[in-house]
Amino acid sequence: MANYRLTIAYDGSRYNGWQKQGNTDKTIQGKIEAVINAYEGADGSIEINGAGRTDAGVHAKGQIANVQLSKSGCANRLREYLNEYLPEDIRILQVEEVAERFHARLSAKGKHYRYSICNSPVSADVFGRKYEEYIKDKLDVDRMREATEYFLGEHDFSSFCSNKHMKKSKVRTITKIDISVLGDKLEIDFYGDGFLYNMVRIMTGTLIEVGLGKRNPSDMRGILEAKDRQAAGATAAAKGLCLMEVYY
């Protein structure tokens, strides 16, 4: 057996997210597993582990997965085979043979997500429209930056999690949040040890409300303390979110 690590980029627009569902056809994981099983001549028994279960419509430039295959030494051939048979909105950027203990999700130490916004009074950008949220009213970026300070460090992020039934710890550590502005484009970069279901999108939706003057930066403290999803803002649209990198 040999363990392979895959670096994957995808345009999530057409998919029901990363994680395989009964019908594998409309998920990224399902598409990749189908091609890997064909490559191995397997009957569907080969499964891949993804680092992050991106939601429907969310994109990735650096998703990581690993897969156990029968033979070693076929990293480049596997990458070329995958890129030949996968749809053009899923691309395998790299395949490397790694130690047997490497597991894309369990070994991950941190992740970098980016949320992209087009903040123009005129219109959305036709070339970015599938990859960024459009907001017509002017965002006050200084207020948004001030609000991000409250998220840094270790907190219980229950207020920023859509899954009520999750019983595991909702404590996560956010190490950095950068908001960069170029013309009418905003990029919010989130770095942390892990993110709960919808966490980045709810943080972004809340930051947008701060930027629009509907909430104050200092409200973030109370929202975190409430440990209640209802206390936070709306969940920002999936299409603006992209998994940029996974750290090991």
Q: Which residues sit at the interface with its own copies, rule CB under 8 A? A: 9-11, 59, 61, 79, 83, 88-94, 122-127, 129, 131
Which of these is catalytic: 11, 25, 55, 178? 55
**CB of 9 or CB of 141, closer to its own copies:** 9
- Between 138 and 214, whose beta carbon lies closer to its own copies? 138
**Between helices 141-148 and 199-211, what is the axis angle to 10°?**
140
In this structure, how many other beta carbons lie within 10 angstroms of the beta carbon of residue 6?
24
In the complex, the smallest distance separating the C-beta of residue 70 from its own copies, rounded to whole angstroms, is 24
Does the active-site annotation cover 55? Answer: yes
Task: Pick the closer one to its own copies by CB: 82 or 199.
Answer: 82
CB of 227 to its own copies, least distance (A): 36
Please, what is the minimum distance in Å from the beta carbon of residue 219 to its own copies?
Answer: 33
Rounded Cα distance between 14 and 31, Å, is 12
**Cβ-based nearer residue to its own copies, 1 or 122:** 122
Question: What's the CA angle centered on 232, arms 118 and 192, to 5 degrees?
Answer: 70
Phi, psi of 126 (to 5 degrees): -60, -30
**Where are the extended beta strands (E) located within the chain?**
2-10, 49-50, 59-69, 90-98, 110-118, 133-134, 153-156, 171-182, 185-192, 241-247
Least separation in angstroms between residue 89's CB and its own copies is: 5
Residues classed as catalytic = 55
